[in-house]
Structure 1
Amino acid sequence: MPRYEVTIEKDACDGIFACLTRDPRFVEGADGLAKIDPGADPVYDCEGSVDDDAERVVATFDDDRLEEARQAATACPTDAIVVEEVDG
């Protein structure tokens, strides 16, 4: 399975939340911007690490849901989400 990172750039996120309809791991944060919560998916047990700082949210996953993350990134009208495969 691929290992990949999902990054949300907070400055670019406008809280439109098109990503939420493509991947249930995306949720609305208290600040009105998109966040990533691996446990938010009601169907799949999902594990991942999430780093959230003042500039961005970066989540790393090692599962078979890369395409869902890519669809969420594609749906973002402000291009705030980047999905990249990473090594080991």
Structure 2
Amino acid sequence: MTRYEVSVEKDACDGIFACLTRDPRFVEGEDGLATIDPNADPIYDCEGDVTDTPERVVAAFDDDRIDEARQAAAACPTDAIVVEEVGE
């Protein structure tokens, strides 16, 4: 499976939450901006490593759901979300 990273740039996020409807791992954070919670998806038992700093949220996954993450990134009107493959 492909390993990939999903990052949310907090300065660019406006809290529009178009990403939430494309990928349930995206949730509203305490700061009112989008964040990533691998445990938020009630359908999949998802695991991922999440780092949350004042500048960005970065999550690494090695599942087959990269297309959902890409759809969430494409739906973001402020281009705050980036999805990158980082290996196999």
**TM-score computed with the length of structure 2 as normaliser:** 0.98
- Provide the aligned length of Structure 1 versus Structure 2: 88
Q: Does residue 81 in structure 1 map to residue 78 in structure 2?
A: no
Aligned twin of 2:38 = 38
Q: Which runs of 5+ in 2 are unaligned?
A: none
Identical positions, percent? 81
SS at match of 2:87: coil
Task: Give the ranges of 4+ consecutive aligned residues of structure 1 lying more than 2 Å apart after TM superposition.
Answer: none
Aligned twin of 2:70 = 70
**TM-score computed with the length of structure 1 as normaliser:** 0.98
Aligned twin of 1:22 = 22
- Report the CA distance between 1:21 and its aligned residue: 0.1
C-alpha RMSD of matched pairs (Å): 0.6
In 2, the alpha carbon distance for the partners of 1:87 and 1:39 equals 23
